[in-house]
């Protein structure tokens, strides 16, 4: 036939299950496509033929096959308002995030056509077993710009919050979805909206290393010195996660390198905690004080010793960190390394001049600590 339709395509269109089974039994290929790239599953989905869809799936039809225009069987079922067909396809692995060449997902076309049942089916599928998110949050998560546009036309509030207090812009920042973040900001999303614990979208983007979104947010007025409930800045977040590119960008944008959390943690402490030696190096190169202390007088070297992060400890010592710095209880990095059985750190500290006779407030030497903790390898 001129347009590439075969017998299976025709039987699928008209719902002739027995004929489909016979043809498949005789060896016809289930994923043969027309000249437009449509398979029998596309055609059955468009026509709403549930029984045929089930049979084709049993014959291992590709549920995510895309036509030349990018249409999937799920898109076709959604477009034609066949909710049960959508359910079958989703239950068998159909991907609701696949979009057409024009950027339309099944959710977007269902919204455009006003197919409320389909919208419900698609949103229910996305949150199965998870916390239910508002539709705009789901569009932000999937970077589904067309669906988001339709939602924003219906409800102009770009700052709708989820149960956990996050806006769609927070979600877009988490996933690094630049297109949706731009759309939300263009629709008056608050770039400095603070969610639970005073977390801004910029905090989220920095934590997850989404550099392009960081750039966008700052260009739209995001506060680079915004602090969470615990006093974390975006630089703290990037440093704790070790995102060197984001750290470099933030420093170039004059992020405050000396700001500390409520507990007195600096960005350098954060990088030491996460074993991010390259992040720590970048901070040190930008004049982060190597012996900055927390409210308990812990230095980054104390933190590295506690966590057993050898590379970070060596870097700090190379930048002249004090190996005998005393915390509030008198513990030095060596005491902490002995307590936590960090043998390589112990060796490194002693090599760099750590005092093995240093005593804590209660008179304990590193040897006492190792003995008390049963760390016989160290003794």
Q: Architecture of domain 289-379 in CATH? A: Alpha Horseshoe (1.25)
Give pLDDT, residue 134. Answer: 81
pTM of the model: 0.77
> Which pLDDT tens digit goes with each residue over 232-266?
999 999 999 999 999 999 999 999 999 999 999 99
> Which pLDDT tens digit goes with each residue over 27-74?
999 999 999 999 999 999 999 999 999 999 999 999 999 999 999 999
Give pLDDT, residue 298. Answer: 97
Domain layout of the chain by residue ranges = 1-134, 289-379
The structure tokens listed for 299 are 């230095």
Given a contact cutoff of 8 angstroms between Cβ atoms, the answer to whether 366 and 334 are in contact is yes
Given a contact cutoff of 8 angstroms between Cβ atoms, the answer to whether 145 and 113 are in contact is no
Asked if domains 1-134 and 289-379 share a fold, the reply is yes
Q: Is the dihedral of CA 174, 180, 183, 188 positive or negative?
A: negative
Can you point out the beta strands (E) in 8-121?
Answer: none
Give pLDDT, residue 119. Answer: 87
Q: Look at 34 and 162; give whichever has higher pLDDT.
A: 34
The structure tokens listed for 215 are 């750039």
Cα dist from 41 to 32, 88, 96, 291, whole Å: 10, 12, 16, 65
3-class state of residue 109 by DSSP: helix
Cα dihedral: 189, 192, 196, 202 (round 10): 100
Q: Look at 248 and 142; give whichever has higher pLDDT.
A: 248
What is the fold of 1-134? 1.25.40
The structure tokens listed for 366 are 């590193």
Q: How confident is the model at residue 374 (pLDDT cuts 50, 70, 90)?
A: low
Pick the range with the lowest mean pLDDT from 120-124, 211-215, 329-333: 120-124
Given a contact cutoff of 8 angstroms between Cβ atoms, the answer to whether 300 and 329 are in contact is no
């Amino acid at each position: 036939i001129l347009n590439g339709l075969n017998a299976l395509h025709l039987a699928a269109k008209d719902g002739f299950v027995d004929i489909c089974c016979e043809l498949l039994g005789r060896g016809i290929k289930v994923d043969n496509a027309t000249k437009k790239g449509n398979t029998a599953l596309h055609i059955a989905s468009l026509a709403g033929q549930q029984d045929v869809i089930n049979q084709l799936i049993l014959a291992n039809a590709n549920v995510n096959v895309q036509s030349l225009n990018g249409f999937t069987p799920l898109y076709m079922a959604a477009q034609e308002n066949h909710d049960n067909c959508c359910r079958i396809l989703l239950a068998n692995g159909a991907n609701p995030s696949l979009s057409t060449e024009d950027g339309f997902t099944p959710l977007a076309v269902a919204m455009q056509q006003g197919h409320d049942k389909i919208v419900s089916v698609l949103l229910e599928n996305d949150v199965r077993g998870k916390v239910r998110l508002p539709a705009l949050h789901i569009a932000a998560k999937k970077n589904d710009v067309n669906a988001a546009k339709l939602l924003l036309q219906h409800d102009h509030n770009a700052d709708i919050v989820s149960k956990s207090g996050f806006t769609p812009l927070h979600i877009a920042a988490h996933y690094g979805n630049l297109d949706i973040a731009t759309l939300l900001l263009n629709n008056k999303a608050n770039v400095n909206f603070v969610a639970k614990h005073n977390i801004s979208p910029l905090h989220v983007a920095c934590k997850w290393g989404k550099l392009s979104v960081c750039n966008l947010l700052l260009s739209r007025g995001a506060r680079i010195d915004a602090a969470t409930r615990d006093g974390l800045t975006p630089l703290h977040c990037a440093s704790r996660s070790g995102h060197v590119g984001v750290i470099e960008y933030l420093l170039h944008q004059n992020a405050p390198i000396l700001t500390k959390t409520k507990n007195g943690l600096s960005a350098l402490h954060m990088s030491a905690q996460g074993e991010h030696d390259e992040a720590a190096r970048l901070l040190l190169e930008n004049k982060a004080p190597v012996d900055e202390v927390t409210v308990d007088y812990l230095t980054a070297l104390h933190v590295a010793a506690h966590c057993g992060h050898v590379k970070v400890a060596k870097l700090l010592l190379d930048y002249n960190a004090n190996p005998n710095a005393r915390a509030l209880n008198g513990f030095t990095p060596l005491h902490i390394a002995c307590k936590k059985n960090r043998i390589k750190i112990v060796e490194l500290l002693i090599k760099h001049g750590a005092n093995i006779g240093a005593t804590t407030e209660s008179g304990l030497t590193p040897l006492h600590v190792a003995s008390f903790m049963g760390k016989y390898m160290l003794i």
